[in-house]
Amino acid sequence: MNDKILKKSKAFFDVYERKSGSDKLTTTYCPGCGHGNLHKLIAEALIDFNAADKSIFISPVGCSVFAYYYFKTGNIQAAHGRAPAVAVGAKRAHPESIVISYQGDGDLAAIGGLEILHAANRGEGITVFFVNNAIYGMTGGQMAPTTLIGQKSMTTPRGRTLKNEGYPIKMSEIIATLEAPVYVERVMIGDAKSIRQARKAVRKALKLQIEKNAFCFIEVLSACPSNLKMDPKQGIKWVQDVLQKYYPLGVKKDISEEFERKDVSRDNFDPSQLQNILNITESKIDKGKIEQFKNNEFTHEFRIAGFGGQGVLSLGTVLSEMGMRHDYQVSWIPSYGPEMRGGTANCSVKISDKKIGSPLVANPTVLIAMNGPSLDKFENDVISGGTIVYDSSLIDRKPIRDDVNIIPIPATKMADELGTTKAANMIIIGALIKKLGILSIDVVLDSLGEVMKNKKLVELNKKALLKGIEYIKSL
């Protein structure tokens, strides 16, 4: 096995052309650094499993940022902490590929804490290699979330304390508590024996992705002699003697036997079905009927208001849809934001034969008030000569304005007679259509089937509409 590790894997470039400077044969890693050894184990496995060509290696920000100098795989360099998220984007795009998310302890356990947690929790079909060297290597030896209590670093010059920095974080144990991860193990780049164990873990994790798209998490205790201010041998010894004490090696979770291959494929799609899928259908309304009826030179601006649940917003959309089917210009805009308080809802609708500039309605030509507060709030906004339609079964006062048309409709009561309070809005639409004369009753009745999302309600709504129309006729 040692032979194999020493011989350069075919998953590495022969010459590191991407590396700057004149030395294109050695890596950027310091002597005794765990990264280099772990790279070798991964590269060896990729070749042995014939997977290098279809692998995508996500490198982090940290000393291993330049993994793409070495790995002859697809390479994507991610922002600090985000390698698992980037890996998700890649794996979902290419479910057949082998995606490796490689991170340091600052990258994974500090700034990227959320991304790894959720990638693990979703059981993404990726393999995570987590290099825990208990320090920020690249930035010059600051404290990592994994730095030991008492360990000195540039940002814990007197040693990490419980009081100020709290406990070092045990990521493998945390990840192992989640349901989805299939195999979680902590290994070490220490003596030959520990490297053999690390090799086994690396291979098992990659194999599990290749065969089952299993999420596996391998934490690798690793030396950063440069920042520990030790020589390579001392560094490795420190990992074995000190770091390992706090971070016990071993399998933290393994359900690989019973785990069934995860299907990460996407659903089939027939592009010829696109219009159906997007519900884009041609209106079947008889154009002749529309032409006969069409009005010119008008703009109606509606304010429709009431309690949430009274169908205020849908009153507006149905009215707009009917207008659209007459080839008028229409716009609908809901109250949202500061206006939306206390369970009341309102929307504004414009219907015009001309292009609509602002879709906002300040002074409606028609106010539809479905409850008392709405009448109180909007009565004064209605333009002189405009119309106020209100639900007289719910509002006990009459509008005060004497310069507008007032139409009381006991819509809720009438709807109850039809068997459902919810039809009140349709009764009002019927009344409006009759009153305003901008929409053809024929076309409206024909359109209901297209406009109503719930097809079961078409007949009931037709009845409600007609009831509203009859009511106006009877006035």
Partner 1 sequence: MAKQFLKGNEAVVKGAIIAGVNSYYGYPITPASEIAHAAAKYLPLVGGTFLQAESEIAAINMVYGAAASGERVMTASSSPGISLKQEGVSYCAGAELPCVIVDISRAGPGLGNIAPEQSDYNQVVKGGGHGNYKCIVLAPNSVQEMCDFGILAFDLADKYRTPVYILADGFIGQMMEPVEFPETVPDIPKKPWAILGTKETCVNVITSIELDPDDLEKHVNKLQKKYQIIEEQEVRVDEYRTDDAEIVLVGYGIASRIAQSVVDQLREKNIKAGMLRPKTLFPFPKKQIDKLANSVKSFLTVEMSNGQLVDDVRLIVNGRKPVHLYSRVGGNVPSIKEVHDEVMKIMRVS
Ligand X SMILES: Cc1ncc(C[n+]2csc(CCOP(=O)(O)OP(=O)(O)O)c2C)c(N)n1
The residues binding ligand X (CB under 6 A) are 61-64, 80, 104-107, 131, 133, 135-139, 144
Q: Which listed option, partner 1, ligand SF4, ligand X, none, makes contact with residue 87 (CB within 5 to 8 Å by class)?
A: partner 1
Mask for 307-346, x = binds partner 1 (CB under 8 A) = ----------x--xx--x-----xxxxx-xxx--------
Among 46, 56, 61, 63, binds ligand SF4 (CB under 6 A): 63
Task: State the binding partner of 107 from partner 1, ligand SF4, ligand X, none, CB within 5 to 8 A by kind.
Answer: ligand X
Residue 217 lies near ligand SF4 (rule: CB under 6 A) = no
- Alpha carbons 338 and 347: distance in angstroms, whole number: 13
Q: Does 81 bind Mg ion (CB under 5 A)?
A: no
118 binds, among ligand X, partner 1, Mg ion, none (CB under 5 to 8 A by kind): partner 1
Residue 122 in contact with residue 101, Cβ under 8 Å? no
Residues with Cβ < 8 Å from 299, sequence gap 6 or more?
A: 350, 351, 352, 353, 354, 356, 365
Q: Is the dihedral of CA 148, 150, 152, 153 positive or negative?
A: positive
Query: Smallest Cα–Cα separation from 67: which of 39, 47, 104, 42?
Result: 39
User: Per CB under 6 A, does 224 bind ligand SF4?
Assistant: yes
Token pair 């390579």: residue: 232
Interface stretch with partner 1, choices 89-97, 139-147, 431-439, 457-465 (CB under 8 A): 89-97
Non-local (6+) Cβ contacts of 196 within 8 A are 1
**DSSP code per residue over 140-186:** TSB--TTPPBT--BTTBTT-B-TTTT-PPP-HHHHHHTSSS--EEEE
With CB under 6 A, what is the number of residues at the site for ligand SF4? 12
Please report whether residue 30 would count as binding ligand SF4 according to CB under 6 A.
yes
Q: Select from 74, 137, 311, 430 the one that contacts ligand SF4 (CB under 6 A).
A: 137
Shortest Å distance, C-beta 34 to ligand SF4:
7
- Of 64 and 209, CB closest to ligand X: 64
Whole-angstrom Cα Rg for the chain: 35
Which of the residues 94 through 153 are near Mg ion (CB under 5 A)?
104-105, 133, 137
Contacts of 417 (CB under 8 A, 6+ apart): none
Contact 443, 293 (CB under 8 A): yes
Using CB under 5 A as the criterion, which residues of the chain lie in contact with Mg ion when the complex forms?
Answer: 104-105, 133, 137
